[in-house]
Structure 1
Amino acid sequence: MAIKVNTGWQKKVWRVPRLDNLELLHLKTHSYEYPPHMHEEYSIVLILNGSETTTCRMGSHTAFAGDLLLINADELHSSKSVTVEYRVMKLKAKTIAESLSWIWSHRLERRYFPELIIKDRILFQTLLRLHLKLEQQDTALAQESDFASAITLLLTRTAGRHLALPRAGKESHHVERIRDYLKANYAGNVSLADLTSITNLSPFYLLRVFRNRIGCPPHEYQTQLRIANARKLLREGKSVSRVALETGFFDQSHFSRSFKRIVGVPPGYYSSQSKIVQDGNTNIW
């Protein structure tokens, strides 16, 4: 396939193995043209700057900064860009099919996204945050939860506008089982599949039920547990690097960012102040 490229081409492509090898792309260029082609995946395109004109469905359609471009799998199209920057997620057909069955028990249609260009600020920002997060290292539970929540929003606000999500009940028993599991495995790399296996709930329903009951998603609850235990270990005099390792963080930098976000001060400062306060037989934080 011939690609006409003008200048300033910058492209980054990466995959997320734990999300069924999800492919992501970040591209910047002054101008380019793609001849007619198609993808086996569903392409979710976030236009950050410039414009992207896509020819398909018996016409030409131009998306601008802040717009979502949704191209269905096996949909023949050509593209022309002017000073464009965009981010792309390529969703496999089976990912869409599984998501639909989890949400509505709804069968996948061959052409699922009926609208090519979507103007939806909330959806755009949600997908952009997900894309940026998936460029960084994080826990399995965090990535899977963020992905499931974003895809639910995508489907309910676009192709699923005529459908309604089932209401999430209290499901106290399931929530308590999840909390107990996370408390027992707070330092482990818990996956969303681990939580669905102990509750028999779909990933999408599980996330909604847990958030409704607790006020945050499971991965944030796990992070809170990690930081609570980290504070205890720091007060016991353990080093920051050792505490980061024992509480399940990837590295000391990841631990420090999470600790400061929740506690308000870096772990090193917290540790030093704990030693001072302990000498005075009092406590902090």
Structure 2
Amino acid sequence: MSEVSRFWRDPALPFVEARCVADGRQVCYAAHSHESFSLGIITGGHSRYLTGDAQHEVAAGTTVLMNPGVVHTCNPIAGQPWAYLMLYVDLPWLQAQSFALPSATLSTSTALYGHLLEVFAGLFDERSPAAKHALLVALFERLPGLLGNTVPARAPTHPRLEMAAAFIRAHRSDAIDIDAICAAVGLSRGYLIRAFGKRFGLTPHSYLLDQRVQYARAQLRLGRPIAEVALEAGFADQAHLQRAFKRHLAMTPGHYRDAQS
């Protein structure tokens, strides 16, 4: 029987990781975001994909794309089975390749789907790190053409809301509350909560938790102790990190840290 979820990582390629999920019914997420650029392919069944304020039903053959910081979920429809492969690529590496983030959030291109299947197969097999690096470079060189859309993503902006999000990111490990955020950006509590949710898809508190989970995820990739990471990320203890991590990423911190391809 296939594992429900497994990861591929390579210390020689620390800017990227991949995930294979054989049964998406057992891997369900709360709304969350990633610091990395993420793209995935649905390899079986159907699921519901929510990105920003748009909702789609996606099926096998569909590619989904998530820019850094974009809140999203992708979960089963009424308990129906589905499966997928995901790729997470760190933004600094993409910027070094002069890759412009796409505006597309999904694609039904068979050429793109087929190319991504080849990339995942190459990452999960026994090729050398150099060969896998070449696969990734070729993917991002070809991606704009395969998508047919090279316009950079531009989200509607509100300067004070952007300031609030930046304040949260800068203080994600600190003991901040809604009053501290309001004071920093000059907005009332009621307005900030309403407008922030519309702009980012999460309340300020949920956004803070998401940022802490992202920080913990990056540290756990380095193999650090869970309890130490929990406190450093701003959680009261390991149990609080455990609950938040599982809601956001559908796995425990220990599973994620110790996962192997």
TM-score (normalised: structure 1)? 0.47
Aligned to 1:92: 90
Report matched runs for 1:63-78 at 5 Å: 63-78=58-73
What is the correspondence of 1:255-274 to structure 2 with a 5 Å cutoff? none
Structure 1 runs, 4 residues or longer, greater than 6 Å off: none
Q: Is the 8 A contact 1:114 1:159 kept in 2?
A: no
Q: Which has the higher strand share?
A: 1
2:127 maps to 1:138 = yes
Root-mean-square deviation (CA), in Å? 2.4
Aligned with residue 105 of structure 2, among 113, 116, 141: 116
Match status 1:126 vs 2:115: yes
Secondary structure of 1:146's match? helix
Alignment of 1:10 with 2:8, yes or no, is no
Structure 1 window deviating more from structure 2 (148-157 vs 39-48): it is: 148-157
Q: Work out the CA distance in 1 between the residues paired with 2:73 and 2:139.
A: 27
Residue 27 in structure 1 maps to residue 21 in structure 2: yes
Q: Secondary structure of 1:36's partner?
A: coil
Amino acid paired to 1:155: P
In percent, how many aligned pairs have the same letter? 17
The AA in structure 1 aligned to 2:38 is S
Q: Distance in 2 between matches of 1:162 and 1:28?
A: 33
Residue 144 of structure 2: aligned partner: 155
CA distances 1:12-42 after superposition (whole Å, capped 9, x unpaired): 0121233334111000215253111111111
Where does structure 1 lack aligned partners over 5 or more consecutive residues? 1-7, 102-107, 164-285
Partner AA of 2:127 in structure 1: D
Larger RCO (CA within 8 A; separation ≥ 6): 2
Which residue does 1:52 correspond to in 2? 47
Distance in 1 (CA, whole Å) between partners of 2:31 and 2:48 is: 13
Aligned residue-pair number: 147
Q: 1:43–1:52: structure 2 CA closer, same or farther, 3 Å change rule?
A: farther
| Superposition TM-score, scaled by structure 2 size | 0.51
Q: Which amino acid aligns with 2:87?
A: M
Rounded Cα–Cα distance in structure 2 between residues aligned with 1:30 and 1:24 = 15
Q: Aligned partners of 1:133 and 1:27: how far apart in 2?
A: 17
SS of structure 1 residue aligned to 2:68: coil
C-alpha spacing 1:10/1:153, structure 2 compared with 1 (3 Å): same
Instruction: Measure the CA separation in 2 of the matches of 1:30 and 1:57.
Output: 21
Higher-Rg structure is: 1
Residue in 1 that maps onto 2:164: none
CA drift of 1:149 comes to: 0.9
Report the CA distance between 1:159 and its aligned residue. Answer: 7.2
1:34 alignment partner, SS class? coil
Distance 1:62 1:96, change over 3 A: farther
Letter in 2 for 1:147: L
